[in-house]
Amino acid sequence: MRRPVKSLIFALAAMIPAVLSAATQGPLSASPPRRIVSLSLCADQYLVLLADPGQIVALNRFSQDRGMSWAYERAKRFRVTRGSAEELMTLRPDLVFTSGFGTPTALEVLRRRHIPTVELERAEDYTVIERSVRRVATAVGHPERGEALIKTMRARLAALGAPPGRGRVAAYYQRRGYLTGQGTLIDEMMRRAGLVNLARRLGRPMLSYLSIEQMARARPDFLLVEQKGVVRDRGTEMLEHPLLRRVVPDSRRILLPEALTTCAGPSYPDAMTALYRGIRQADRLAGQSTQSR
């Protein structure tokens, strides 16, 4: 069955997680961990860049899903886990990243055995990602890698240049008609790109339903979508509805693949690059259309 709106597991329970919780179960060892397990898809993208490959015992079961995981190529070399208590006992971790995922039994096993855990929580702006990079890098014993990654991310964001949005309105519209709203990293990304989030203008919360008719009346300048021109089921069929296509044609739809937005983290510069590129491409197409008239 297709994931409904980023499976709502990520959209609500983790809505693009990134900041590390101060609460950890069990003492962190003075020496770097040697058997790290990630139960969190969002922790995976930090770990594959900041930990030694030999430190990672297993990653989240979605880590090798190209549609969901930004780090899927790097994740191919590692074992994956579904996070059951039985698996955790077999893996014998000395540090576990949870992000709230894992069965209650598995989490109880970690607590009872005093295995250190680091829990990822949601991020609403880029500054949280940098803080998370530093915390993860320190937890895995390589703080210098965290600083190097932050330097690279900042340079990539600076290279994007002036925000191309110019105050125009955009809607991040997902399958089944769900609109991503205030208090999300998508909202922050729009502001950074110079766009106004339609959900914010309408006073909508983090996630809400907006019908095709309501979207047509709102007439946003851009639609941010996970895919373009593909109908897989009824959930995606509505995004290709003729009414919606008349209001926001393909030329003003900006592709932001799910793998770039499911989690905050090192994927952020790639997501912002895709957003800037999409706006500029839409403007070029609009300019060509005007010239041809």
The amino acid present at 4, given as its one-letter code, is P
pLDDT at 14 over 80: no
pLDDT at 29 over 80: no
Length of the chain: 293
pLDDT at 223 over 50: yes
Give the C-alpha separation, 41 to 147, whole Å.
22
**pLDDT value, residue 157:** 98
Say how many C-beta atoms besides its own lie within 10 A of residue 114's C-beta.
9
Mean pLDDT of the chain, nearest integer: 86
pLDDT at 238 over 90: no
**pLDDT value, residue 160:** 98
**pLDDT value, residue 125:** 87
pLDDT at 123 over 80: no
What does 4-49 look like in DSSP terms, one character per residue? TTTTTIIIIIISSEEEEPS--SSPPPSSPPSSEEE--HHHHHHHHH
Average pLDDT over residues 83-95: 92
Average pLDDT over residues 152-163: 98
pLDDT at 35 over 50: yes
Asked if 259 and 267 touch (Cβ cutoff 8 Å), the reply is yes
**pLDDT value, residue 7:** 42
**pLDDT value, residue 275:** 98
CATH of domain 169-292: 3.40.50.1980
Q: What backbone torsions phi and psi does residue 144 show, to the nearest 5 degrees?
A: -65, -30
pTM of the model: 0.86
Give the C-alpha separation, 143 to 8, whole Å.
33
The full set of domain ranges for the chain reads 9-158, 169-292
pLDDT at 24 over 80: no
pLDDT at 8 over 70: no
**pLDDT value, residue 224:** 95
pLDDT in tens, 39-68: 999 999 999 999 999 999 999 999 999 999
Give the C-alpha separation, 194 to 276, whole Å.
10
pLDDT at 132 over 60: yes
What does 55-107 look like in DSSP terms, one character per residue? GEEEEETTTT-TTT-TTHHHHTTS-EE---HHHHHHH--SEEE-TT-S-HHHH
**pLDDT value, residue 225:** 92
Structure tokens at 161: 């240049």
pLDDT at 256 over 50: yes
Burial class for 241, CB neighbours closer than 10 Å (0-12, 13-18, 19+): middle
Hey, which CATH number is domain 9-158, 3.40.50.1980, 2.40.30.10, 3.90.180.10, 3.30.465.10? 3.40.50.1980
pLDDT at 153 over 50: yes
Angstrom CA distances, 203 to 124, 196, 199, stand at: 17, 12, 6
Query: Would you say the CATH fold of 169-292 matches that of 9-158?
Result: yes
pLDDT-derived band at 9, boundaries 50, 70, 90: very low
Beta bridge partners of 172: 224
pLDDT at 138 over 90: yes
Structure tokens at 235: 């959930």
Average pLDDT over residues 107-113: 87
The amino acid present at 25, given as its one-letter code, is Q
Beta strands 169-174 and 178-180: pairing type?
antiparallel
pLDDT in tens, 63-86: 999 999 999 999 999 999 998 889
pLDDT at 228 over 80: no
How large a percentage of the chain has pLDDT more than 70?
84
Beta bridge partners of 253: 223
**pLDDT value, residue 150:** 98
**pLDDT value, residue 13:** 40
Contacts of 87 (CB under 8 A, 6+ apart): 58, 81, 106
